[in-house]
Structure 1
């Protein structure tokens, strides 16, 4: 950053936001992950914002933005659009401040997030098939009615509120070398970078700030490379909290100046990270909140040193969790589905079951099919779901089946 660059949010703004939030939000805990620390070769800490009010960091920025409204603006009410976390943050802040809130959510929004937003007292209107369509409708409603539009990330107050997370981390992990978090529109990353980089300069030390995106929803890498906003044509990721096709203008102006890097992770890496958090840390985190953990597990952040990872939210639909856990088990070699063609004669299935049992694997489901386009007369197709113990064990099971004359094809 050059000396003449004037950024839209400063450390003073973040510190002022922290005073506004005093007594309103929780100072969420920091938990050390020794298991992940062993993987990366340094101390790793989780900033558990999944335990924040309304289940994510979003209430920080929403409350700061709305607390600064005039009495006349508060009387007009607020409007927002979100698939979940921003909606709940706005709803909680509005209830606390006595402001009427209308939230536009896409038609396919997860039922737990819809119910939670209504439960916090907001009026919810379902509109559009994605967040962008809901956002456009919310802006139209604001222009038509005079309600104050509360943007999820493209606002100085929102950025300053999210930046208070950075101040907390510096207090809880004073020797931190790297802070990692997910990034969608960029409000959280921009706010944390603003606070952390300014404090690091005062302390005379370097602290890296790294953003992480799902590779199928990664608008920041091309935008940073072009030094201009580059919208994505398509966004497809389980991490709905960061499924943003176009960076925010204000966050982008900060991120390109202050953030050290923005990296990406695959969907399989995300699924593995969620299972790791459940099994090893006993933490329920939504996919968007787990991308930083995925990045460390995949080794895409070299030499991070003492690291703090922001687990930005825990609002996950149980049905999505079921699918993610299954995908994560497949990705880590702990679950395998194979399809085998064999003669339709007595004893064939029993022989396969014996081989699998002798390989110390466990059959969880069998599908036995005699009819289908690829199945010849006298043949049968068997699809078997098998619980395994890792990729090497998968290969052992497959090798044992082949050694007995079978030709298993892995379908998952």
Structure 2
């Protein structure tokens, strides 16, 4: 098989390219820019193009497929050439389905927790020596790539609700046709595509309808909106609910209690325990007993950037987390406060996504940082210029968060100068963003304050 990737440098795209290369496909690709880690990883497998840019001459008639990334635009010259030559064009979720249509497909959806739940399932399946393929949105310890496609009978897919490609406006998770579909919860996101909560909610109703007949829908019954959506749905699927498990916290260590036995964990937080129950429910459906699941989870360290410990000493832990939406922000802050009730918490959020920077959506952050002892909001002015958006004042941010004590920064150097001068005695620092804090080396910064 010969396949060509348009916008090959993306996170999912370059991992899919490597997976197909490993499967024996002849893979080519293009992009206007290649950044790390995709640049080095593609180069390692001999897939990095000599030149960046778009080259219509790469679209040859012998191609079996063109895989189109979201980064490309509708007038991309390679895309236009493929359309003119009548070559089959897939979005990456379409092509993942094409490669897994004969497998049992587990699709993990929801507004939050998708990566963590998928990671937990993969960890347990690996411990149990299952043969499986996967697509996950973060680099995991013990896994070389974020995508694997082999002859395994089973695939676990993180099902994003964002759009499939520039010419396919369907959410990605609609395309996988799950045998087992999971929804972790619903909280409005992607306002640039789903301008109302109702339009966003509808995507999850459609996802349920895409689960194959007599398949399974696993869902969190503690999410009131999700529970009603599932109750009202009449699809021919088996509905299986999950909820928070029994647990205890001793000396900063969270343990699950199952059949009067404790299973100590390396991860913590109420949202992660819910994620764990979601993963357990999936694994039980695949034949893994609860006791074996919890034993395997004792060695699970978490996915990259998900409450990731990047530095610590006897009095301070520094975490970075992918939290960016209101629900993720409040859940992550609550998790750290609950795990370390006798420590102060300095919580800093970088608002980076289109939704979080939208003046209307910003109101959704009301009171989400109230549990932090010091709450800091950072909006990089350079990002606003790039997105052609108006800058924010400190007062606008305080009003949106309904918190007059919030400290606001719009320059990274000012933010990190402030953080560097704080007293971290008996205090944790939580740095949250789906961006990069203006390219700051967070691990290096953690070392300086510790």
More strand by share: 2
Larger radius of gyration: 1
TM-score scaled to structure 2, two decimals?
A: 0.32
TM-score scaled to structure 1, two decimals?
A: 0.34
More helix by share: 1
